Chains A and B, each alone.
Chain A
Amino acid sequence: MSRFFSFTRLRALLSKELIQMRRDRITFAMMLGVPLMQLMLFGFAINNDPKGLPAALVAPTQDRYSRAIVTALELTGYYRFTHPHASAAEAEALIARGDVSFVVTLPSDFGRRVDRGDHPALLIEADATDPSVASGAVSTLSTVAAEALLREKGIEAQARESAAQSLEVVVHRRYNPEGVTQYNIVPGLLGVILQMTMVMMTAMALTRELERGTMENLLSMPATPLEIMLGKVLPFLGVGAVQVVVVLVAARAIFGVPFLGPLPLLLLGVFVFVSSLVILGYLFSTVARTQMQAMQLTFFYFLPSLLLSGFMFPFRGMPGWAQALGELFPLTHFLRIVRAVMLKGADTAAVAQPMAALTLFAIGFAAFALLRFRRTLD
């Protein structure tokens, strides 16, 4: 039996952890149920390009032009006119209360001016307290409204001609041509869900022994810090594997997320990511003295990692210092891997850098945890 590492001891520690994991029914169920619940909840709920937002129409004289505009706007999918006959004062109250996201105002002489060939003005007020509400809906607007009016006047051909004369800008929405939010969110959720369960569970590893008083016994027996760490984190690799399968199958079957790259590459990325997570959680548990402290540490870590990793907001859109900070989270690198492999069909070379970063994290956390491990009860 080696001094520093023995498989017999590791096996004893592993089987003990597995038995305890199995007996803790609620935690066990949560480890498998929570990922699925979160995936469904967030996968369906989060939408960066919201559609069907409520709108009010203020049009003192309702005629065929105003109806044409309403129809055209509704056809874009962004607007849903819940209050089609609002007065200006009512509309003001509606948008202030947040009951509608848009107020479309047509002046009373709108129809007359269109017939005269003037340039009639059309006011759209958007509730931009949440900028993402306004962006998509407003960007499509000017062409839609103009075309609607021209069509209504029966000079569609002319409209197309005039459009053709102006400068043509071609935009390709690559990797996600329809701009489906789920394609971006669901692979990211894989990372977030794994991070949530893996870090939280392993952060309890040592503090639970401390709180139950079993640490004194464990430390008085000849298990080494490395064996104890492996015994604590390895079972969670198995739990992580199950979660990965659940999330990936759901991503494909329920959300239809494309899966372009090689699966083994993705799984390798997941493996390195989960390894870094469980060791990070274990590192937390060497620092914390109680389960409560471990929880607080974990949450202290979660929020910045969610906000700065590129899960919530585009990574490249953050200021330089925030990007630098973001590089410190394993989640950031994992998101690059998972999005590149699933959506872009990236090969090994394309994800080598984030892969190396994750490996370094895992090794660094492990070294730190072994240093931090207290062999005594001091």
Chain B
Amino acid sequence: MTDEPAIEVRGLVKRFGGRAVVDDVSLTVAKGEIAGFLGPNGSGKTTTIRLMCGLLTPDAGEGRVLGHDILTEGRAIKREVGYMTQRFSFYEDLTIEENLRFVAGLYGLDDARRAVSGTLADLGLTSRRGQLAGSLSGGWKQRLALAACIMHRPQLLLLDEPTAGVDPKARRDFWNEIHQLASGGLTVLVSTHYMDEAERCHRINYISYGKLVAKGTVSEVVRDAGLTTFVLSGRNVTRAAERLEGMDGVDQVAPFGNTLHVVGKNADLLRAAAERVAKETGCDLSPSETSLEDVFIQLMGKARDNMQ
């Protein structure tokens, strides 16, 4: 039981109007792991998460979540999973406390009153507990939703962009808490668009147009992408960027402040192009680490090519 993965799904397919939004996705998340779920807008992250917690029925595929079959044991999965929706979906016309009470009641928590007051205290919302949830700011709504979905001590957290719109301090607190919970055995699957958050995950999964195109630890994903990166710096980086755009071997040109990142799959061609432009424009050229973001941009472009 203990070595069975928390999530193990194979060949999940979900179609909307004939279009495969999730296309043959297989995913394994080990117990106690924090798994990142990344991908561009509309790539199928939310849909995949819904499939895993029994909110959508897959058109094909199978799998187990916490040892329960996703096709037949949705009820058991719901009891042990905490799902935080991407869009705030608690009751805006209920107060913070009433929302928490509602959740505590639905999970049949033994000491609902203590659980609610404890959660309020953890959130630092005790003094505002009578405020309508709808009147909270966006970031506070996220924090309330997160608190509500861990109140029943689930074994698996499915978090759909939990930190969208949350300030840096709260984001760090959130990640500290996630790591703390994970060290206690909780498994977390978290979707995000932030690179720094992806780097805080044990493993990441990258989905694009419904297909899982990369997975592994951050360094594995970067390594597997096989990209080379150079940094140009100097006064003429803007002109250098114009020259580099569209040259053979140059896949990405991205300015970062006073520097320019050029990324390419073919190291030799890239080096030749970068050296020529650096000489022409009088910029300094140095090799650099490829970042996760570079990899993702590369993956996005590739997936789009596949679509056409």
- Across the A-B interface, how many residue pairs have beta carbons closer than 8 Å? 81
Q: Are B98 and A16 in contact (CB under 8 A)?
A: yes
30 A-B residue pairs with Cβ-Cβ distance under 8 Å, sorted by A, are A3-B75, A6-B108, A9-B106, A9-B108, A12-B105, A16-B91, A19-B93, A19-B94, A19-B98, A20-B93, A23-B93, A24-B93, A212-B92, A213-B85, A213-B87, A213-B89, A214-B89, A214-B91, A216-B87, A217-B83, A217-B89, A219-B55, A220-B78, A220-B81, A221-B78, A222-B79, A222-B107, A376-B56, A377-B56, A378-B57
- Interface assignment of A13: CB less than 8 Å from any CB of chain B: yes
User: Which of A217, A223, A224, A375 has the most CB atoms of chain B within a 10 A radius of its CB?
Assistant: A217
| A166 at interface by CB-CB < 8 Å | no
Which chain A residues in 311-350 approach chain B with CB under 8 Å?
Answer: none
Residues of B within 8 A of A219 (CB): 55
User: Closest Cβ of chain A: how far from B110's Cβ, in Å?
Assistant: 10
Instruction: Determine which of A1, A23, A216, A376 lies in contact with B108 in the assembled complex, contact meaning CB atoms within 8 Å.
Output: A1
| Distance from A325 Cβ to chain B, minimum over Cβ atoms (Å) | 37
- CB neighbours (8 Å) of B174 from chain A are none
How far, in whole Å, are A220 and B81 apart by their CA atoms in the complex?
A: 9
By CB atoms of chain B within 10 A, which of A9, A11, A220, A224 has the most? A220
The reply on A8 being an interface residue by CB < 8 A is: yes
The residue on A at minimum CB distance from B78 is A222
Pick the residue among B75, B89, B101 that contacts A222 (CB under 8 A): B75
What is the chain B residue whose CB lies nearest that of A9? B106
Residues of A within 8 A of B78 (CB): 220-222
Of A6, A12, A215, the most chain B CB neighbours within 10 A belong to: A12
Closest chain-A Cβ to B109's Cβ sits at a distance in Å of 9
B139 in contact (CB, < 8 A) = no
CB of B63 within 8 A of chain A? Answer: no
> 5 shortest A-B CB distances, which residue pairs?
A12-B105, A217-B89, A220-B83, A1-B108, A221-B106
Q: State the CA gap A220–B54 with chains docked (Å).
A: 8
Interface residues of B in 57-114 (CB under 8 A from A): 57, 74-75, 78-79, 81, 83, 85, 87-94, 98, 101-108
| A351 to B117 Cα, complex, angstroms | 53
The answer to whether the Cβ of B171 comes within 8 Å of any Cβ in the partner chain is no
Q: Residue among B81, B93, B103, B104 with the most chain A CB within 10 A?
A: B93
Q: Let me know if B106 and A12 touch, CB within 8 A.
A: yes
Q: Does B50 contact A (CB under 8 A)?
A: yes
A214 and B101 contact, CB distance less than 8 A: no
| Residues in B whose Cβ lies below 8 Å from that of A9 | 105-106, 108
On chain B, the residues within 8 Å of A216 by CB distance are 50, 55, 85, 87, 89
**B53 interface residue, CB < 8 Å from A?**
yes
Taken together as a complex, chains A and B put the C-alpha atoms of A213 and B108 apart, in Å, by: 23
Across-interface contacts of B90 in A (CB, < 8 A): 214, 217
**Residue interface mask B109-152, A partner, CB < 8 A = 1:** 00000000000000000000000000000000000000000000
Q: Is the CB of B105 within 8 A of A11?
A: yes
| A219–B78 alpha-carbon span in the complex (Å) | 9
Do A13 and B55 have beta carbons less than 8 Å apart?
Answer: no
Question: A24-B93, A222-B78 in contact; A217/B101 too (CB < 8 A)?
Answer: no
A201 to B254, CA, bound (A): 56
Residues of A within 8 A of B107 (CB): 221-222
- In the complex, which residues of chain B have a beta carbon less than 8 angstroms from the beta carbon of A1? 108
Determine the distance from Cα of A60 to Cα of B132 in the docked complex, in whole angstroms: 79
B-chain residues with CB within 8 Å of residue A11 when the two chains form the complex: 105
B50, B75, B81, B89, most chain A CB atoms within 10 A: B89
Q: Are A375 and B89 in contact (CB under 8 A)?
A: no
Q: Within the complex, which residue of A6, A24, A212, A377 is in contact with B55, where a contact is CB–CB below 8 Å?
A: A377
Chain B residue at minimum C-beta to C-beta distance from A377: B55
Given that A214-B89, A214-B91, A377-B50 are known contacts, is A220 also in contact with B55, CB under 8 Å in the complex?
yes
Chain A residue numbers with a CB within 8 Å of B98 are 16, 19
Output the least CB separation between A209 and chain B (Å): 9
A23 and B99 CA atoms in complex are apart in Å by: 14
Q: For the complex, give the distance between the alpha carbons of A113 and B248 in Å.
A: 121
Q: Could you tell me if A12 and B101 are in contact, using CB atoms closer than 8 angstroms?
A: yes
Kindly supply a per-residue 1/0 record for chain A positions 207-248, scoring 1 wherever the CB is within 8 Å of any chain B CB and 0 otherwise: 000001111110111111000000000000000000000000
Contacts of B92 in A (CB 8 A): 212
Cβ–Cβ contact B93 & A8, under 8 A:
no
Chain A, residue nearest B85 (CB): A216
